[in-house]
Structure 1
Amino acid sequence: MNDAREVICRPLQNRALWFLVGLGAAGAGVATVRMAYWGAFVDVWVFVGLTAAVVGVACLHGATARVSADARGLHNRTLLRRWSMPWHNIADLRVYMQYGRNQEIRRVSVVLRDGRKRRLSLPMSGSVDDRPDFDAKLDALRALHRRHGAPESSHLPVISYRTAGRGSAVSLGLCVLLLAGAGLAALFVPIAESEKQAWRSATPCTARTPAAERGECLTTVPAVIERIEVGSGKQRSWVYFADDEPLDRLSVSREGARGFQPGDSVELTVWRREVREITGEHHVWREHFPGAGDIAVVAAACALAAGYPGAKVLLRRRGRRLPDDEVLPSALPFAGALVGTALWLLPLSFLHPMTVLDSPVTVAWAATGSLATLGLFAWAWRATRIRTPETAAATGATRESPGEDVFLAARFLESTDYNPNGFGTHIVLGGGPPAVTPHSGPGRFAAKPIPVERLAVKDVRRVRGSDGDAVPRGWHIAELDDAGTPVRLAAAPADLTRITRELDRSATPEP
């Protein structure tokens, strides 16, 4: 297929898609007939028909998609849009990975000379079964690009959620929404505290209380409970009153509903035209008023939660000069800093939501916590720095231990005779020839010696999207030549430096 002069990509399940399109058309017809001739706008057949019609439209979009490539360039056609692009305007072809529910979706992304990106509707892979067809079509497209264009890179960039080329719009939007929620909750802190204090200070109404002020005092009304509905799970619990007096029913907590029995005579306490309390002979239910501390904790929690997507945006901004397919450091150190901040900020927000500056104790609490947070974020900033292979090689520790086995976490990413089926998780050095082991020691049980005489280190680089999600973000990759076969070895930067030095030393015969 690499020698093909034209490549045509169509949906793999084309017949199934057209069947669903026909089913959707039939559903639309049923819904139209039911609404036009029977006047049944709210009907189960109308609902089923409209649902089938929506599914049919979506399948029609997929069934009519077509991507072709020839000597002139790429041609992408969908139901609503068509576009073509000559090869000389295309800088690169990439694999764009999306993650669905228990599946990995791969699509082809086109990078233009001016930096813009377009995603092809086909080919697309959503499972292991259709991966060979996807790879074959992609290889054919890249062959045409090399023949009629000028690709910027010889390797195939893979863009995933871990790489620098992935956009940060979702993280930025989530950060903004959480910060907006935090600000909105903070606005309600004084309002909640004022309402709670007003409830606590409310007094019973008297005959002298003006009618305009009766909403601010407490009024008691007798009632008889007719029946109780205790909700299960997240369902609401209800108390029903006899003769619908003074109201039909009232939503209460599950524990509150279980404390009453049908036929109980109770008193209802009304405040601000709402029933706030039910008092019986053996049980009392009161409406919960969230205080300023509760709302302040919500505001602080939203602000802290916004820090994690904000850290992702910061890391992508920090790695903006990296190649698009290189993996960025993890934002987990910033998550740790946020958790450490929550340990002192949330209790302070709950206990002193509006009086932080009123006491030397709370001022010291806030100042000490702020300094701790500053230290945690400084540590997180350093932990997420981007380490290049040159820096790792210059600062890598040697830790020579002659005669003793040292097990280093490392793995070959390809299956070889010394790493069959990718079983190796560690490389052992020191007490014998370098070997691959499926464990971290002690002992060389099941170890397979590495043929160091066949291996030659070609390059050391950072992790790319094509290396897979199983490789930790902070590791580096050594590209080796195994008697003409390319092999990749992944390990932490310092450990990889030590392993490659040991491989070079073992491969060099002693004089």
Structure 2
Amino acid sequence: MTTGQEVTCRRPLHKRPLWCLVGLGAAGAALAGGRLVYSGDLVDGWVLGGLLAALVGLVCLYAVAVKVTADAHGLNARSLLRRRRSMSWQDIADLRVYVQYGRHGEEYLRVEVVLRDGRTRRLPLPVSGSHNDRAAFDEELEAFRALHRRHGAPESEHLAVISKRTAGRGPTVPLSLCLLLLAGAGLAAWFVPVTGATEEAWTSAVPCTAATPAAERGECLTTEPATIARTEVGEGKQRSSLYFADDRPLDRLTVSREGARGFRPGDHVELTLWRGQVRVVARGDHVWREHFPSAGSVAVIAAACALAAGYPGARVLMLRRGRRLPDDEVLPSALPFAGAIAITALWLLPLCYLHPMGVPVSPAPLTWAAAGSLATLGLLVWAWRATRVRTPPEAAAAATQEPYDKDVFLAARFLEATDYNPNGFGTHIVFGGGPPAVTPHPGPGRFAAKRIPARQLTAKGVRRLRGSDSDALPRSWNIAELDDAGRPVHLAAAPADLTRILRALGL
């Protein structure tokens, strides 16, 4: 509900079904408590059902209890689990939009409050999770901003949008993922020598003899006869097992699916034991052997985890490099670092598989490792230069200025629908052989071209991409803010191309 002096946000609009679920949850809690006292069994079906209903009722109670209000004094937020929180307009520096992402890529828009001391507070309401409630979200946010302009002192008139592409995003998620992958790489690397020693001991094990001491019999091979009682072939991810008659020497052995299919009930088999466990089951024409992971495969896992940690690490690096940018400016993509990581994997993973204990001193592996390291170093330097943050003046200074005697097509687009860009159909701008025009193709020819009225356009400035701009625009593009006879329009293109287009338009 919105008035001239007060804005109230409640969620959701239809509360009667939720209050019914709250009542059902209370009844479920009472049922679970009474049944637990009566039976004393926590895993009773009635107890579990009552607890589930109580949990659903608690969630619904939180949904109907949350409330955010704004008046001439400031913002007030109230929820079920938190006490009432009030923020005066004088203490609020700005209001902005914060985009949260779901597990499957869903976008949830929330309002974030930036305080004068630099801290941020995220409001529980309003929230937009789809296009259906976006209009109501925009209306309530604009009402908040109107009250802030009237009774406070906003630091900016621009509405900032903080998304996963912008500089104001916190590094918590990529940093945590990077550290988790590095921990996995370290754990796998610690198992490499252990796995290598186990594999070497198994391959070099010999049958036990009468002279073998009892303390060393676990390191040699012993054989025992056994009879298959029944087999169990698992489906999908289920395990397959062999059962032995009289539970001798054990009742059940987990084997592969192919290994279980080769045996039948009543088969007389020979078991090979090593280190107290059955490692081989043989029946003449069919043999199952336990698989021992090689040191090379574990080394590959360690290297793959370390390389995978490079991409979230690159994202943290990009956030660090963009710390001086406004919070809503879009950062360059970390994909160049991902390309360097992928090329590194092409030479590092085979090297780790073939030489898991370290690169030997022979010429071929040393040359392989040295050449790969130099290639990776060169790719990282290229990625560092490709992802540097360039301001529009730097891009304009780097653009070349030369006369054109034939048509030149450059990828660019006006973000608003105009007479020369109806329904936003334009993808390129052509100039040189004729007046500048918008085209839906990269040429050749000016088919379906719409002439740009350059005389009525005025340049107001050039800026980098912001979080409020379309995600379909490449991160490296800049946006020129133009005035079309009193109507603001925006032209997006690569920095150097945008400078050439503005020169062709006489701006």
Same fold (TM over 0.5): yes
Q: Following the alignment from structure 1 to structure 2, what is the Cα–Cα distance between the partners of residues 448 and 229?
A: 72
The residue number in structure 2 matching 1:276 is 279
Any conservation in 2 of the 1:229–1:239 contact (CA below 8 Å)? yes
Q: Count residues in correspondence.
A: 504
The residue number in structure 1 matching 2:473 is 471
Higher alpha-carbon deviation: 217-226 or 150-159: 217-226
Higher alpha-carbon deviation: 283-292 or 24-33: 24-33
Q: Following the alignment from structure 2 to structure 1, what is the Cα–Cα distance between the partners of residues 424 and 64?
A: 39
**Displacement of 1:126 after TM fit?**
0.7
Query: Which deviations, in whole Å up to 9, do the C-alpha atoms of 1:247-281 show, x marking residues without a partner?
Result: 22211122222333333221111111111111112
The residue number in structure 2 matching 1:483 is 485
The residue number in structure 2 matching 1:109 is 112
**Displacement of 1:360 after TM fit?**
2.8
The residue number in structure 1 matching 2:48 is 47
Any conservation in 1 of the 2:12–2:64 contact (CA below 8 Å)? no
Any conservation in 2 of the 1:240–1:250 contact (CA below 8 Å)? yes
Q: Following the alignment from structure 1 to structure 2, what is the Cα–Cα distance between the partners of residues 381 and 140?
A: 43
Matched, 1:180 2:183: yes
Any conservation in 2 of the 1:456–1:504 contact (CA below 8 Å)? no
The residue number in structure 1 matching 2:319 is 316
Query: Which deviations, in whole Å up to 9, do the C-alpha atoms of 1:403-461 show, x marking residues without a partner?
Result: 32x22222222222332332222222233332222222333333333232332221110
Distance 1:440 1:229, change over 3 A: farther
The residue number in structure 1 matching 2:150 is 147
**Displacement of 1:14 after TM fit?**
4.6
**Displacement of 1:166 after TM fit?**
0.5
Matched, 1:213 2:213: no
Distance 1:416 1:231, change over 3 A: farther
**Displacement of 1:102 after TM fit?**
4.8
Query: Which deviations, in whole Å up to 9, do the C-alpha atoms of 1:23-53 show, x marking residues without a partner?
Result: 3323323332332223442234433332232
Any conservation in 2 of the 1:178–1:302 contact (CA below 8 Å)? yes
**Displacement of 1:157 after TM fit?**
0.3
The residue number in structure 2 matching 1:508 is none
Any conservation in 2 of the 1:14–1:63 contact (CA below 8 Å)? no
**Displacement of 1:331 after TM fit?**
0.6
The residue number in structure 2 matching 1:334 is 337
Structure 1 SS opposite 2:430: strand
What is the aligned counterpart of 1:439 among 417, 438, 441? 441
State the AA in 2 paired with 1:9: C
The residue number in structure 2 matching 1:66 is 67
| Percent of matched pairs sharing the same residue | 69
Distance 1:2 1:434, change over 3 A: farther
Q: Following the alignment from structure 1 to structure 2, what is the Cα–Cα distance between the partners of residues 363 and 378?
A: 23
The residue number in structure 2 matching 1:251 is 254
What is the aligned counterpart of 1:381 among 372, 384, 388? 384
State the AA in 2 paired with 1:387: R
**Displacement of 1:398 after TM fit?**
4.0
State the AA in 1 paired with 2:311: Y
Structure 2 SS opposite 1:504: coil
State the AA in 2 paired with 1:178: L
Distance 1:34 1:451, change over 3 A: farther
What is the aligned counterpart of 2:361 among 354, 358, 379? 358
State the AA in 1 paired with 2:207: P
**Displacement of 1:112 after TM fit?**
0.7
The residue number in structure 2 matching 1:448 is 450
**Displacement of 1:2 after TM fit?**
9.0
The residue number in structure 1 matching 2:137 is 134
Q: Following the alignment from structure 2 to structure 1, what is the Cα–Cα distance between the partners of residues 23 and 487?
A: 51
State the AA in 2 paired with 1:132: A
Higher alpha-carbon deviation: 98-107 or 40-49: 40-49
Q: Following the alignment from structure 1 to structure 2, what is the Cα–Cα distance between the partners of residues 332 and 397?
A: 27
State the AA in 1 paired with 2:27: A
**Displacement of 1:501 after TM fit?**
1.6
Higher alpha-carbon deviation: 419-428 or 165-174: 419-428
State the AA in 1 paired with 2:214: A
Distance 1:441 1:55, change over 3 A: farther
**Structure 1 outlier segments of 4+, above 4 Å:** none
What is the aligned counterpart of 2:461 among 451, 459, 462? 459
Query: Which deviations, in whole Å up to 9, do the C-alpha atoms of 1:87-118 show, x marking residues without a partner?
Result: 11111100001122353210000011111010
Query: Which deviations, in whole Å up to 9, do the C-alpha atoms of 1:375-412 show, x marking residues without a partner?
Result: 010000001000110011110134643232x2222222
The residue number in structure 1 matching 2:425 is 423
Higher alpha-carbon deviation: 377-386 or 5-14: 5-14
Q: Following the alignment from structure 1 to structure 2, what is the Cα–Cα distance between the partners of residues 358 and 21?
A: 72
Equivalent positions of 1:77-116 (< 5 A) are: 77-81=78-82, 82-100=84-102, 101-116=104-119
Q: Following the alignment from structure 1 to structure 2, what is the Cα–Cα distance between the partners of residues 51 and 8?
A: 32
Q: Following the alignment from structure 1 to structure 2, what is the Cα–Cα distance between the partners of residues 419 and 240?
A: 75
Q: CA RMSD in A?
A: 1.9
The residue number in structure 1 matching 2:30 is 29
Matched, 1:18 2:6: no
The residue number in structure 2 matching 1:509 is none
Higher alpha-carbon deviation: 451-460 or 335-344: 451-460
**Length-normalised TM-score, structure 2:** 0.95
Q: Following the alignment from structure 2 to structure 1, what is the Cα–Cα distance between the partners of residues 403 and 8?
A: 57
Any conservation in 1 of the 2:11–2:66 contact (CA below 8 Å)? yes
Equivalent positions of 1:150-169 (< 5 A) are: 150-169=153-172
Distance 1:192 1:87, change over 3 A: same
Distance 1:419 1:3, change over 3 A: farther
